[in-house]
Every structure is written in structure tokens, then in C-alpha cells.
Homo-oligomer: A and B are copies of this chain.
Amino acid sequence: MGLIDYKLELESAAKSMILVHNHNTLIKMIVRNIVNKVRLHHAGILLYDKERNSYILTISRGQRGLKIPAGFARVESEKGLIKFFRNRDNYEGLKDTILTNERINVFLKKSFVSRHKHLKNTIIEARHQMLGFGAVVALPIFFQQDLLGVMLLGKKRSGKRFLQDELNFFVALSNNVSMAIKNAELFENLQFEVDRNHRLFIHTAIAMTAAIDAKDHYTHGHTQRVTEYSLAIAKKLIAKRKISSADNFVENLRIAGLLHDIGKIGVPESILGKKGKLDAEELDKIKQHAIIGVTILQPIKELGEPILGVKYHHENFDGTGYPEGKRGSDIPLPARIIRIADAYDAMTSDRPYRLSLSKYEAIEELKKFSGIQFDPVIVEATIDLYKEGSL
């Protein structure tokens, strides 16, 4: 394949890299593209790793033989190739230069190189590293003043040498690669921020609801268990293809699970913690927690969907629950799931007025009230989990 041909292909490949926002995938793509299009034995990229403050090698398997296990090789920042590319522009005769086997031999004979012992040693170190990687060409990948990495090219499969025109082209290509790497880095940082903020929200919800659980001495850990059971049930339902795992369904269920009892904050402690049996008025106050939850959460515009899980988690399948007496599939699915997870946890935990049931007994209760309090399909999934030992 001629130079012009692979130039066009590589350029277009480099462009499409811009939209690859996963660092690893990106580097692998670049290396693979170069090896295939330029028809090299192999190629690699040394990429800066902030945490380890060194440059880590990602390589192609190449066509024949040579295979360094990925992540195996790393190069320290103050040595050989890295040191050379970071400092080359301080020497008039090395400005913008890349390294090839031939050039290294020429450099080492130059008098200004011999005069600078450190420089000479650095070049010798770089040659040693290139030999170790089986590279005959090394090009820096700069983003502005930052050395993001070094591209290492093995020999051509044809056995021919690289032409000057080809080397110039690779320098231009390394600009595209630099842009793609920087872009991926910015993307990953932003994605990290998304995740961090989401975890901040989830963990705050966990902490606050755990604090509310703590007020009700008999429900220690209740909220987290209900959330876990709900998620396990949802995943089972998805696995059984009883429901589709549409956008955010599981994540919204998690949030609804965490917040389902948030309204208890509005129920007097004297009622929540009461050891004897509750009278009708007290029971009414307890029942209000679903609606109080909605009142608390309604102002959170970003919340949306999960509020339904909070509002309706005490509706019964036959329409005898509260707050609205909804029935069957009119009850939002997350609420039907939480209903069962909540009941299961209540039955399997000690309460002021009774000891807990065994898991077996609790499952029997779910069966007994399947179609009455509980959605039969969800009861089935819960039984499956119980049988597998995952409840």
C-alpha cells in the first residue's frame, strides 16, 4: 500500500478517534490502526499515567511474534525517551526532532552531543529503551507543553526503511492522536464528576435515611435492606424477561428504595418507637408517612420517577392499600416491588410486639397474600431468589 493511501486512511481513522472517549480503547485503536495500515511488525504507545508518575506501555500484538504483556513495561519520567523529548528543544540541533535508529547514531557522533554528557547519556538510554521495545522510530505526543506519551514503531513487514515523507506524516498524525487523547482525558474527568456527584447523592440519601431508621429502634438497617431486596427482585424480573430493563429503571428503583420511608421523619417519635400495640389514630399517623414522603420530595425537580415508588409503596395488589387504594398494574411497578421487599424485611426482622419470622415462613406469607397484597409475578421472582439462596 502506497504512502498516500495509508495517509488518507490513517487520517480518517484519527478523526473518528475523537469520539472514542475511553482512554484504553482509544490507545488500542490507534496502535492497531498504525500497525495494520502502515504494515508494521508491531507498534506501541507509552502513555503518561498521573497516579504512577510514569509512562505505561500499550502495545499491539503485531503480525509476527513480539508481544510484551500490556501494562508490563513502564518508563520513568526522568529517563531515556521521556527525558529526551522533554528537553530536546533546549538544543538547537535537536529541535522538533524525532528518534530513529539511524538518527541516534548520527546524533551520538555530533560534537555538541559529546559536549553535553547528560544529553549523551539520555540518548544512549533512549536507544536502549527502543531496543527493548523493538522500536525503530519514536515520536513524542505533545499537547501544548505536556508530553502525553511516545509512539513507538516497529519495523515494516516489507523490510524497507521509513521514508522522510512518512516520518513527517507521522509527526502530523501525532497531533491528531494528542488531541484525541486529551479529549478522552477531559471526557473521563467529566464522567468521573458525574459519578462522584451521583454517589454523593446516593450516599447522602443512605446516611440520612439510616439516621431516620435509627429513630425507630426496631428498623435498624431497614432502608438499606429494602433497597437491596428491591434491586435483587428487579434484576430477577429482568432476567426472567418479565419486565424490560429500560433507561434508568434500576437506578430509579434504588433511589425510590432509599427514600421510601423518608416520610417517617414527619411521624412523631412516640408513635414510631411505641412498644405496645398501636391504636387506630396512631396507625393513621403511621400511614401518613407515604404522603409526607411525597411532600418532602416533591420540591426536588430532578427526582421525578422515584417519587411514585415512595408514594405508592403501601398499595395492595387488590386495591385495599393506601394512600389511594390503587390496584394491580395501576400501582407503579417500583412501588409494587418495594411493597414486597418492605414486607419481607418487616417479617424477617424483630418488631416490638413479636419476634421475626424465618425466611421460609416469610416466603410462605408472601405466597399466601400473592394476588391480595402482592403482585403474583413479583412474588414468583422473590421465591426464585429465596430458592437460590440470594435472599
Contact = CB atoms under 8 A, between A and B. Distances in A.
A200 B265 contact: no
Interface string A179-223: 100110011001101101111110111111011101100000000
A48 to B, nearest CB: 17
State the majority secondary structure of interface residues on A.
helix
Interface of A: 15-16, 18-19, 21, 175-176, 179, 182-183, 186-187, 190-191, 193-194, 196-201, 203-208, 210-212, 214-215, 262, 265-266, 268-270, 296-297, 299-303
A204 B300 contact: yes
A206 B200 CA distance: 14
Contact of A19 (B186, B194, B270): B186
A262 B208 contact: yes
B203 A302 contact: yes
Nearest to A264: B211
Contacts of A215: 265-266
A167 B266 CA distance: 69
A196 B201 CA distance: 11
Number of copies of this chain in the oligomer? 2
Nearest to A176: B15
A26 to B, nearest CB: 13
Contacts of A204: 201, 204-205, 300, 303
A187 B21 CA distance: 10
21 contacts: A18-B179, A19-B183, A183-B183, A187-B187, A190-B194, A194-B194, A196-B302, A197-B201, A199-B301, A200-B201, A200-B300, A203-B300, A206-B299, A207-B296, A207-B300, A208-B208, A208-B262, A208-B296, A211-B265, A211-B266, A215-B265
A18 B200 contact: no
B208 A265 contact: yes
Contacts of A203: 299-303
B266 A200 contact: no
Contacts of A268: 269
A302 B197 CA distance: 8
Contact of A175 (B15, B182, B193, B211): B15
Contacts of A300: 200, 203-204, 207
Nearest to A200: B302
Contact of A214 (B183, B208, B266): B266
Contacts of A182: 19
A323 to B, nearest CB: 18
Given A19-B183, A302-B196, A207 B269 contact: no
A183 B296 CA distance: 38
